[in-house]
Every structure is written in C-alpha cells, then in structure tokens.
Structure 1
Amino acid sequence: MKTIDHVKLDRIVAEARRAADERNQGYRERALKIYPWICTRCGREFTHANLRELTVHHRDHNHDNNPPDGSNWELLCVYCHDNEHQRELEAQAGGSVADTAPTGATHTPFANLKSLLSNKKN
C-alpha cells in the first residue's frame, strides 16, 4: 500500500491557493479600476467600507479568460453572484422548479355558495 506524502500534498495545495489568490487579485483590481463600484444586476452601490462584498463575475464562467479590456467581467454583489452561479448550475442540470409553469388552484371554496344562499332564502 502506498503512503501519502503529506508534506508534498500540503505544498501543492499551498501553491494552488497562492496562484489562485494572485490570479484573483490581478483581475479583481483591474476590474475595480475599470468599472464603477455598482452591482450590475441589482444596482447596489459600494464604497471602500463594503467593497469586499463586490465580486468580479466572469461572463463566460472561465476564470482564466481575463482580457485586459475587462470584456469578460462584470461586477456583482455577493448575492447576485451566488444567484448567477446557481442559475448556471440549474441550467446545466436541465432547469429548475421555477422553470415549470405554475399549476392552477384545484380547491374552489365558493363552489357551493350559490346553492347555500338559495337554500337560506327558502
């Protein structure tokens, strides 16, 4: 049975995290310089105090596609960003419950009302 080299595994994970952080800082900083600090979806405005809640969304969902002009980015608040990715997951899975047409109500509470009222008059 093979033994796991935990030191090597920890190093690989640390390098991957460091590379992801560098990549994130690079395009995030550029996007914040290009675009106004407003969520593209809900219109919420951001300041330095809450800027951490504004994220960069990749329109084509490819985090390695970072053109210098920012054409693959849009700034979204964390809530809209989560919603966007959830919609993408649902689309890949073939839709969501919300995509189905709502069914009409089957209960008719006043179906007997006319007969009840006419019986009362008699």
Structure 2
Amino acid sequence: MAIDHSRLDRVVLEARKARDERDKGYRERALKIYPWICGRCAREFTHSNLRELTVHHRDHNHDNNPPDGSNWELLCLYCHDNEHQKQLELAQRGVGGAGGGGSGRSGGGATHSPFAALQGLLKGNKPADS
C-alpha cells in the first residue's frame, strides 16, 4: 500500500498551524500581563529581542491557559530549555519507581563498588581473582 505523502504533509501542516495559532494566543496574552523579564535569570527584554522570551507552562500542559495567566511564566530561551531539561531528568530518575528503589539498573544508581575489597587488601589478603 502506497503512502499518500501529500495528504500526510497537509495533516502535519494543519497541525503546525493550529499549534502556532494556539501559541500565539497565549503568548500575546502573557506578554500583555507580565513584564518582559525572564522569571529565572531576570534578563530584561525589549521589542528587538522579544522573540527570545518564551511562555513556559508551569504544569507543562500547553492546553491549560487560564485567562489570568496563572499557569504561565516568561522565561528566556536558555532558562526555558533548562527547565525542560530538569523535567526530563526527573522523569528518567523516576523510571525505577518512587525514590529510585527499583530493581536492577533502572534506578540509575551506580552498581559497581571500586573499593569493595580494599579493606582485605590493606590487611594483606590477596584479591580473589589472583
């Protein structure tokens, strides 16, 4: 069965347009509500560099756009990327269950103990593999 690339391209284009329209709506509202200052690093923005100021959704739900802007904060591109990177790292750590107490290596902790036999070596015992 052949793939209709033109139809797929149209669907992707429509989805991107819808996203851009949605983004534009809450971005414009956020820029009217809040001062043009990054909420993390306090960098100030003007019309010339305003494109570098993003709207971050505090709950990470881009469909949650209350009229009062309570789910938004303005962040510069760098702080916004940093915030999302922190969320990715938290999600990766949570793979092993709450508190990282999962079995095997899924918790992300180290499993090798390089000094496990050190006390025996200091007492003059030979390593097990020699």
TM-score bracket for the superposition, by shorter chain length? 0.7 to 0.9
- In 2, Cα distance between equivalents of 1:40 and 1:18: 28
- In 2, Cα distance between equivalents of 1:44 and 1:90: 25
Give the RMSD, CA atoms, in angstroms.
Answer: 1.2
TM-score of the superposed pair, with normalisation by structure 2:
0.71
TM-score of the superposed pair, with normalisation by structure 1:
0.76
Aligned residue number for residue 29 of structure 1: 28
Gaps of 5+ in 1: 101-122
Higher relative contact order at CA 8 Å, sep ≥6: structure 1 or structure 2?
1
Percentage of identical aligned residues: 78
* Displacement after TM superposition at 1:7 (Å): 1.4
Aligned residue number for residue 119 of structure 1: none
* Displacement after TM superposition at 1:6 (Å): 1.0
Gaps of 5+ in 2: 95-108, 110-130
Larger radius of gyration, structure 1 or 2?
1
* Displacement after TM superposition at 1:57 (Å): 0.1
Counting matched residue pairs gives 95
1:39 aligns with 2:71: no
* Displacement after TM superposition at 1:53 (Å): 0.4
